[in-house]
Structures are given as C-alpha cells and as structure tokens.
Amino acid sequence: MKSIAGLEKEYERRTPTSLKCFERAKKSFQGGVASNFQAYEPYPIFWDHAKGSKYWDVDGNEYIDFNMAFGAVLAGHAHPLLVKAAEEQLSKGTLYCAPTDLSATCAEEVKKRFPVDLIRFANSGTEATMHALRVARAYTGKEKVIKIEGCYHGMHDYLLQSVGPDLGEAGPESCPTTVPQSKGIPRDVTKNTVVVPFNNIDAMRDALERNKGEVAAVIVEPVMMNTTLIPPKDGYLEKLGELTEEYNVVLIFDEVKTGFKVAFGGACEYYHITPDLITLGKCIGSGFSLAAFGGKKEIMELIKPGDVAHGGTYSANPLAIRASIIALREVLTRENLDYATRLEDKLADGIRKTMKDNGIPGYVNSMGPCGMVHFTEHEIYDYRTFVKYYNVDRLTKFWFGLVNNGIWIAPHADEHWTVSVQHTEEDIEKTLAVIRKIVPDLKY
Ligand SMILES: Cc1ncc(COP(=O)(O)O)c(C=O)c1O
C-alpha cells in the first residue's frame, strides 16, 4: 500500500511551479490564497486555465475537474454560450447601478423554477442568506435563528456557527452548544443562533419549544452538501414545514448548492415543498458573481427604502445577469441536467463496483449530477455521524491518488463532486480507469 508521504512526494514532483507560485503569493497575499477554502496541504495547485470539463495547472498538467468551483459551474468551464453572452455585454458596460429590463427577465427565469413570488439579487450566497435572515427577522419581529449543525450558509456572523465544530466543544448530540466557527464573532451574536442536528425532528421541536416566541427563522440546506452529501430522511423536510408553520417561524431553504442541481427547480421541486424563503447562489451565476433570495410576497415586500434594507453596488450587474439568463434558458436545461445526472450515475455505479470488488467498506451517495463516496460502513445522516465514522485517512489517499492521475475533486473531506453538462462519457471512463487503479491501494 502506498503511504501518504509517498503520494505527497508524487504530488510535489508533478507540481513544482505551483509551489513556486504559492511561495511568491504568500509574500503579499495573506496565506497565498483568496479564501480559506482554497488552502490545503501540502500546498494548493495553481491553475492556469479551464475549459469544458477540464483545467490545466501552471505546470501544464491536465485534470478532469469534478469540483467545478464547489459546484457553481454545473455549466462547465467557459461554456461557449456564456462566453458569447459575456462578450456581448462587455462592450455595453458591465455595471450601471440602475434598473435594467434584463433583471426582470432573469427574475422570471428563476420564478419558472422556484416557488417564489418575489426575489432580489445579490452577489454571493453569503449575502443572500444574510438578507434572507434580516427580512425574516423584520417580518416576525423576532431575533433568533435555528440552524443545523454542519450546515454552511456563508461567512456572516449569524450563520458562521457550528459549521464544523470540534465535538469536544459541541455539547450534547440532540441539543448542541452553538460554537462560533471563527474568532472575532461577538458573543451576543452567537447567543441568537440555536443549533440542532440534521434529520432529527424531535430535536427541532425541542429547540422551537425552548425558544418559543423568540425565533424568527429556521434555515436549512435541504440536502446537506457541505458535510459530504447527506439527503434528508423521508418526511423530514415536510415535518419541518409543519413545525415552522405551527410555531410561526419563517422556513428558509438555503438552495445555494441544491438549487438548479438536485432538480431543475432545486430541492423545492425534488421534495415538493414550498418554504417561506429560499436563497440561491453558485449555479444561478454559472461562473459570474450572482446570487438571489426570495419567497412569499408578504415577507419580501417589506424590502424597500425606510423599511428593510437591501442593496449592493454590484447587485444585478448586467454582466452576471445576462450570463445568468443564458445559463438558465439554454445551458442548465432539464435535458442537460438529465445528461449530467446520467453521467454521475455511471460514475457512482463504477466507484461502488470497484470498492466492492476490492473489499473497501463504504458507499456512494448520489443526487442529480452530484455525488460523494463515504468510506465507512456506518450510515452518515448528520454532522456527528460524519465526524465519528468517516475514514478521512482513506479519503486522503483516494484524493492524492486521483489528483496524481489527473482527476480533480475538492481537497476537503466534507465536499461532494459535480459532473457538469460539459463532461463526456470519455471523461467518466477515464476517471473510472484511474479509480480501478488506485482503489486497491486503499486496502489496509
Ligand atoms: C449552502 C451554502 N450557502 C451559502 C454559501 C455561501 O456562498 P458564497 O460562497 O457565494 O458566499 C455556500 C457556499 O459554499 C453554501 O454552500
């Protein structure tokens, strides 16, 4: 069996220019990366360019990309229709800070997919969840929010809580302690965020009861996609809908990852549920900086001057909006989503077979064009089961094995992969050949 040290050596042999770039970047760029999520050991690979299903690093190595910008580019890289749309807009100006008819067209495309009366655009998922929470608070006149342990909703203080807490600090399983995910978050903010485990409706009811009359909103990733890929148990989301109605609390589906992916109309369509508010990011911009939040008219109509604030210089900038319209109308179509999902099914089945043939314990979860391998025999149904049972050592070896053979998945154990609409049968065959080569090395 190859050791991690041996795999790391091979990684270093293939990527010396990345190391040089990293050393240079660190001198003027904190940590050498643009986001903490881009940092990983032994050092990050620096990209040169990307096209379709592939990217090339600064050493000229080619990779089949299954991270797809943490799932944001289901469209694949540099999709010709999106390049054309962007080029058309470039010469017309990229930022007006004034209304455009294009924004309404884009909003209509969103409404064709999601059960929302009104939306507003933002630039990132972080902004979308921050604004959704504010308007929920204004609507209910309450301050607390209930979130799920292990769910990620962006970088603002209210929801940057218990995303990946140390179990030593996280308190009891069914009534977790809220653990800030960063230094610098005021204690008074943390007090307003209540944390519960995923897939546990009793714990949710208890939390609503304990905080009765104080909770503005429950926010949930309908499928946990920041703790590998964990679907809700049968009936969980429906019961969540009933409970939030009973307790007069706004239900927010954070569809930044699920939206456009688990189904054409995201988790709302897949599970036939209409939450009070939804948040969208990633695929809505398909590589351009765009996000949105929206939902029931009686909540959203509070957003106006002098009432509930919402704004942003780059909000609904015409470059991202024009690209989004084309992405939603012509690229992320039902047919293309079905195509990517078929490829993902083939990939997942191939991995399952290879693991079985080699006696590697584990299973693969798939949803739409996304999937993730779980190296454990235990069922993972929430954050704690992930932390307790997931064999990270095996995943690390799997990751190095893939990367050293030109297959790219996210360098984090809690991510899933995405097959884009530009991946091909040949990409999947090549990937499965690599998997057949490296999986025997995962035996102990
Ligand atoms: C479910 C979810 N919500 C919100 C966000 C934040 O989005 P952004 O990185 O665009 O701020 C993310 C990012 O990964 C996410 O996965």
| pTM, 2 dp | 0.97
Tell me how far apart the alpha carbons of residues 281 and 257 are, in angstroms, rounded to a whole number: 7
Sequential DSSP letters for 1-39: ---HHHHHHHHHHH-HHHHHHHHHHHHHSGGGSSSGGG-
* Residue 3 alpha carbon to ligand 1 centre in Å: 34
Tell me how far apart the alpha carbons of residues 335 and 20 are, in angstroms, rounded to a whole number: 43
Q: Which of 126, 220, 289 to mutate to test the pocket of ligand 1 (most atoms within 8 A of CB)?
A: 126
- Sheet holding 118-122: strands in order across? 118-122, 291-295, 277-280, 250-254, 215-220, 144-148, 193-196
- Nearest protein CA to atom 16 of ligand 1, as residue: 257
Residue 268 tokens read as: 């709302």
Atom of ligand 1 nearest to the CA of 221: 1
Q: Which of 257, 286, 315, 383 to mutate to test the pocket of ligand 1 (most atoms within 8 A of CB)?
A: 257
Domain positions in the chain are: 4-74+333-442, 80-331
Task: Give the number of C-alpha atoms closer than 13 A to the C-alpha of residue 86, restricted to the C-beta side.
Answer: 13
Instruction: For residue 193, report the phi and psi dihedrals to the nearest 5 degrees.
Output: -110, 120
* Residue 126 alpha carbon to ligand 1 centre in Å: 6
Per the annotation, the verdict on 152 as an active-site residue is yes
Q: Which residues line ligand 1 (CB under 6 A)?
A: 70, 124-126, 129, 152-154, 221, 226, 254, 256-257, 281
* Residue 256 alpha carbon to ligand 1 centre in Å: 6
CA distances, 310 to each of 110, 376, 399 (Å): 19, 44, 41
* Residue 76 alpha carbon to ligand 1 centre in Å: 19
What is the pLDDT tens value at each position of the chain, 444 positions in all?
678 899 999 999 999 999 999 999 999 999 999 999 999 999 999 999 999 999 999 999 999 999 999 999 999 999 999 999 999 999 999 999 999 999 999 999 999 999 999 999 999 999 999 999 999 999 999 999 999 999 999 999 999 999 999 999 999 999 999 999 999 999 999 999 999 999 999 999 999 999 999 999 999 999 999 999 999 999 999 999 999 999 999 999 999 999 999 999 999 999 999 999 999 999 999 999 999 999 999 999 999 999 999 999 999 999 999 999 999 999 999 999 999 999 999 999 999 999 999 999 999 999 999 999 999 999 999 999 999 999 889 999 999 999 999 999 999 888 999 999 999 999 999 999 999 999 999 988
Show the CA angle centred on residue 289, arms to residues 160 and 411, nearest 5°.
55
Catalytic residue among 54, 142, 257, 282: 282
* Residue 444 alpha carbon to ligand 1 centre in Å: 36
Per the annotation, the verdict on 282 as an active-site residue is yes
pLDDT score, position 2: 75
Query: Fold for domain 4-74+333-442?
Result: Aspartate Aminotransferase, domain 1 (3.90.1150)
Contact between residue 290 and residue 82 where contact means Cβ atoms under 8 Å apart: no
Contact between residue 126 and residue 292 where contact means Cβ atoms under 8 Å apart: no
Query: For 211-260, where are the alpha helices, taking DSSP H only?
Result: 236-246
pLDDT score, position 284: 98
pLDDT score, position 1: 63
Burial state string for 177-198 with b = 16 or more CB within 10 A and e = fewer than 16? ebbbbeeebeeebbebbbbbbb
Choose which CATH entry (3.80.10.10, 2.40.110.20, 3.30.420.40, 3.40.640.10) describes domain 80-331. 3.40.640.10
Per the annotation, the verdict on 307 as an active-site residue is no
Catalytic residue among 11, 63, 139, 152: 152
Sequential DSSP letters for 176-214: PPP-BSSTT--HHHHTTEEEE-TT-HHHHHHHHHHTTTT
Catalytic residue among 65, 157, 254, 382: 254
